[in-house]
Structure 1
């Protein structure tokens, strides 16, 4: 089982609630910063690739999956949302599902949220 990692460097100094990245009791994922990207790995055994849906919307990664076991009359579902700073290059997000582990790579983009110098007249 993949363990949740401690807050990465981009979170230091931000006054964010610990629940920001999902259920605080969950340990099915790991999120860390590597080079110029965020890497999210999630243990999701029992799903097929076509049963997993990923969506990116305004800084939020939404992951949903559903598997129906008709022989046993059961349905397995997974749903989790992860909020990221708006510095992710959404055109370059990639994902791979191998041996029950989903890995999502979210490259960072240049941020304009750092502010801009304003000339002072007078």
Structure 2
């Protein structure tokens, strides 16, 4: 005997599937990773012996469109990519914005922060100290 399916059953199944995907994505996430800003780009943080490695997926941006700063214990990533297309109906513009704020625990060696941007991936190495130190806001150059 066949079971009768109602039209909205598929939405319940889809919701269960999405929740299962969400759980598998965040399985094993520790406190440091959960501090990453859940904004416009995928951010991952790994803790190592010397500090943290932060990876931000930002495809489609140019290096000069990205502003990277460290200020008061937070790594700030902001970027704007604007594109204008000419069409038969006139100019069409669109822009993509990224704003991420990542809390970095510990005493950061601000002058030793390094960042590279290649193939749409921003990689930032944030070294930390064991002893407390001064923390002033600094702009970080991206190579």
Aligned to 1:117: none
Task: Report deviation, 1:19.
Answer: 5.4
**Number of residue equivalences:** 102
For residue 73 of structure 1, the aligned residue among 73, 93, 96 is 93
Q: Distance in 2 between matches of 1:62 and 1:30?
A: 14
Residue 27 of structure 1: CA displacement?
Answer: 7.5
Give the TM-score normalised by the residue count of structure 2: 0.62
1:7 corresponds to? 30
Tell me the TM-score normalised to structure 1 length: 0.72
Unaligned stretches of 5+ residues in structure 1: 12-17, 114-122
Q: Which residue matches 1:116?
A: none
Q: In structure 1, what is the equivalent of residue 107 of structure 2?
A: 87
Query: RMSD of aligned C-alpha atoms?
Result: 2.6
Aligned to 2:116: 96
Kindly name which structure, 1 or 2, has the bigger radius of gyration based on alpha carbons.
2
The structure richer in helix per residue is 2
Contact conserved, 2:52 with 2:127, CA < 8 A, in 1? yes
Q: Does 1:107 align with 2:127?
A: yes
Using the alignment, how far apart are the partners of 1:19 and 1:6 within structure 2? 7
Q: Structure 2, unaligned stretches of length 5 or more? A: 1-24, 86-91, 134-143
